[in-house]
Amino acid sequence: MINKKEYSNWLTAMQLTHPLVIAGPCSAETEAQVLHIAHQLKDTDATVLRAGIWKPRTRPGNFEGVGKVGLQWLQTAKQETGLLTATEVANPKHVELALKYDVDVLWIGARSTVSPFIVQEIAEALKGTDKIVLIKNPVNPDLALWLGAVERIYMANVNKIGVIHRGFSSYEKTKYRNTPEWQIPIDLKNNFPDLPLICDPSHITGNRDLIFDISQTALDLNYDGFMIETHHTPDDAWSDAAQQVTPEVLVQIMSNLKVRDKNISDGDYLSRLNLLRSKIDVLDDKLMHMLMQRMYIVDEIGGLKRDNNVSILQAERWNTILQKMIQQGHDNQLSEAFVTTFFKAIHQESINHQQKIINEK
């Protein structure tokens, strides 16, 4: 298992004066396109040029990447601009070719991270490399699966490791392509505070207009950098056109972002902060007490249903309650996503309580 202090802090070694910026097109399309974008990025905060060479698509028939020839384009771009290069690898052959063409940063995509078998094969192909290896979160919101992929790469004697938060799939429709689920990367960062955490706002949003807001949130949560898809003519991109920005927009995004102080020693600030936190602590205690009281009533309902041979789920009532809570949340500036998640969790716990009572002998 990876130790918090045993891997190389390669991000510190880069001596950047700003968050790490990895930028470039979703897909390498032509040599001219890659070189044009690379030269535009040379004068931005970007230090790493990214481009997809192999593009795993959800369904066949779409553009799936130019393959090996694109690595030559990245190599040329590196020689001409001095930018480091990055691409996704999804199997040992990809790793072999990326290392052959001296790609500096290799990342494992969300579709690969979900499979320990695939990650293990990639780890063995990467064994002992001094390249930077970044692991995107798995498609599904599973912290253990994400950390498992990190540990497999680490156990292959790869020390320059980082993680990329690109959001998680959800069957519920939201304004994002992949829901952020911020608590999962926060938990990862709390467990491994020195493991570089990169935000991929392009894949979280699926919409270039939302990239700045997600990037600012990531900075506010102490992320170490960004991977932002950048194209000189985004609307003409061969893949994921809607989520790519121009190099000029990238510059604007970076200049508008605000890096917050992580710690501050001002006495008045700390005094006011502690007072407000004390108020939250009191409310949290009350909230827990109310939830416990609610579950006592749920237990009584479970006994009543058991005695009268009534099913646990009363769908009509549940739907009515949920819609009522969503509306109350909206009226009080609470997002629908938060209210839905909160009350679904309460409902699931209520079902668990009632199942236990109904199944008691």
**How many C-beta atoms lie closer than 10 Å to residue 224's C-beta?**
20
Same domain, 60 and 19: yes
Distance separating the N- and C-terminal Cα atoms of the chain? 43
Same domain, 21 and 137: yes
Mean pLDDT of the chain: 92
Range of the domain at 236: 10-256
Evaluate whether residue 263 is within a structural domain: no
User: In angstroms, rounded to a whole number, what is the distance separating the alpha carbons of residues 312 and 306?
Assistant: 9
Evaluate whether residue 262 is within a structural domain: no
User: In angstroms, rounded to a whole number, what is the distance separating the alpha carbons of residues 251 and 200?
Assistant: 16
**pLDDT in the model for residue 6:** 54
**Residue 235 DSSP symbol:** G
Evaluate whether residue 221 is within a structural domain: yes
Specify which of 58-72, 238-252, 263-277 reaches the highest per-range mean pLDDT. 238-252
Q: Residue 4 pLDDT more than 70?
A: no
Same domain, 190 and 49: yes
Q: Residue 268 pLDDT more than 90?
A: no
Given phi > 0 = left and psi -120 to 50 = alpha, else beta, which region is 332? alpha
Number of domains in the chain: 2
The pTM score is 0.82
**pLDDT in the model for residue 103:** 98
Which positions ≥6 away from 233 have C-beta within 8 Å?
A: 246
For 303, the 3-state DSSP assignment is helix
CA torsion 88→128→153→10, rounded to 10°?
Answer: -80
The stretch 194-204 carries a mean pLDDT of 96
pLDDT band at 8 (very low <50, low <70, confident <90, very high): low
Convert the pLDDT of each residue in 45-81 to its tens digit.
999 999 999 987 677 777 888 999 999 999 999 999 9
Chosen domain end from 256, 291, 315 = 256
Per the CB < 8 A criterion, the answer to whether 329 and 337 are in contact is no
pLDDT band at 132 (very low <50, low <70, confident <90, very high): very high
Same domain, 242 and 348: no
Q: pLDDT exceeding 90 applies to what percent of the chain?
A: 78
Q: Residue 321 pLDDT more than 80?
A: yes
Of 194, 258, 247, nearest in space to 224 by CA: 194
Evaluate whether residue 164 is within a structural domain: yes
Evaluate whether residue 4 is within a structural domain: no
